[in-house]
Structure 1
Amino acid sequence: MTSVNVVITEVPVSKPSLQPLSSLVDRTTCWGQPMKVRCSCMKGTSVHYAWYQHAHHKDFLLYQSSDLYLHCGSVEKDSDYYCVASNDVSSQRSDVLSVQVLMPADPNCIYVVYTRGQPIYDCADRMSTTTFQTPPLTSCQAIGKILPDTRNQSSPNNKTDQDLFFFRAWTGVPLWYSFVRWSCFAFLLIFLGVVLKCSKARQKRVKRKRRVCVRRRHQLAH
């Protein structure tokens, strides 16, 4: 038999893993600290990395690098990120890195990072000790917890009731605006009803006049 020498020049990439370079247990993001997440493959030759952001049902290319740098200037709203590792032979996509922004600010923001295989944490204590006016109420399916609303804990009861009357936190629409809107809608319905009723009455009057005219014509003819 003849021997064959096989030389492997390109190795397909394996599924990339996401590894935060700072521990998630320390919850540095609760205090607005930056975080770097590295994308790496166990197998593959001449691997190229690219980070994408998934928002509005679309994928956007951020930059071609193995590291994702998160900070208060870049995280302004909830987003999902993922890494793609590729070479001339194959390409693989990593798990999703979810970022939930609890308080957008620059530089003192509060956000939570979650990815598969990493510890789950929240910033509930940080939110309770932070004073700001209207925290965004967003659902975090990744951590499965509801953060308490502490906007008016230090205010008196009468002020809290007044704020609840003039503002609905779960919709973000003031109550007076909803009252005015529904009042205008009710007035429009009443106005349309009156117009329809008047038009019907006018049509009845016209029909009566026509009948009277026809009767008079018949009488004059006879």
Structure 2
Amino acid sequence: MVDAGRTGLFVKVTNLQFADTGVSNGLKYITCLFVPVPVSKPRLWPLSSLVNRPTCWGQPVTVRCRCTKGTGIRYAWYQHIHHKDFLFQQSSDLGLHCGTVKEDSNYYCIASNDVSSEESDVLSVQVLTPADNSCIYAVNIQGHPFYNCEDRRSTTMATTLPLTTSQAPVKIHLDTRNRSSQTNQTDQNLFFSRTWTGLPLWYTLLRWGSFASLLMFLCIVLAYAKTRCKKCAKKKRKVHIRKMSHL
């Protein structure tokens, strides 16, 4: 309280609250009236630039909720997921990182005081690759450039995606079945396979069979010729003996 002489007394009042409205004790002619200012619609903006798409590389992002007008403002973030709204945190700053983003969801901020409350625009989070570390997610804030990290996701999938366990046994089973089929086919066609001489077995058997048949034929011919010669020799002897007897 300051005494200004003839002007009167000047009273400085600080830290007024809504409950302070009324007549001050002992000051009959001084009335303290606290009129809170309603909050304006809160605005969202990231504290770090989203142009370089840090979320595509699993980096954290902080989004701030602020009102340009209002007194005694309280901020709270809500998460909309599975058609339900949940109180996420009571703070003006929303921290997004791989540990908090597990699936696609929407967030919004509510700013309120004792006389009014306002809701912000929706902040959308699209989770492309969930993980505790090095996740891939995209943040969409109205009024800011939108990105979807599809190029980063396709590169990651092409370079780091391992062969799934469901694919490996199928491949092994097919290879085994093909090898078994080839083995059976080889066994069935063993008669037509190549021998150590480099020629097919059937051709080798045919050649040796022909050679054996030719030998047998020659033996028969020689035996027949030998028998024929013996008969001729006997006839000549008989003729010679007869001639000698006539003489």
User: Shared fold by TM > 0.5?
Assistant: yes
Tell me the residue number matched to 2:40: 14
RCO higher in structure (CA 8 A, sep ≥6): 1
The one-letter code of the counterpart of 1:123 is C
Whichever of the two has the greater Rg, that structure is: 2
Separation of aligned partners in 2, 1:67 and 1:91: 17
Q: CA deviation at 1:129?
A: 1.7
The one-letter code of the counterpart of 2:147 is Y
Q: CA deviation at 1:128?
A: 2.1
Tell me the residue number matched to 2:56: 30
When the two structures are aligned, how many residues end up with a matched partner?
136
Off by >3 Å, runs of 4+ in structure 1? 5-8, 150-155
Tell me whether 1:93 sits opposite 2:119 in the alignment: yes
* C-alpha distance after superposition, 1:27-76 (max 9, x if no partner): 00000000000000010001000000001111000111000000001000
Separation of aligned partners in 2, 1:124 and 1:40: 31
Q: CA deviation at 1:122?
A: 1.9
Percent of aligned positions with the same letter in both sequences?
A: 63
Tell me whether 1:58 sits opposite 2:70 in the alignment: no
Name the TM-score, length of structure 2 as normaliser.
Answer: 0.51
The one-letter code of the counterpart of 1:46 is G
Name the TM-score, length of structure 1 as normaliser.
Answer: 0.56
Separation of aligned partners in 2, 1:79 and 1:152: 26
Of 143, 147, 153, which aligns to 1:127? 153
The one-letter code of the counterpart of 1:25 is V
Closer, same or farther in 2 for the Cα pair 1:125/1:8, shift >3 Å?
A: same
RMSD of aligned alpha carbons = 2.7
Separation of aligned partners in 2, 1:105 and 1:81: 20
Tell me whether 1:116 sits opposite 2:129 in the alignment: no
- Structure 2 unmatched runs, 5+: 1-30, 172-247
The one-letter code of the counterpart of 2:110 is V
The one-letter code of the counterpart of 1:112 is A
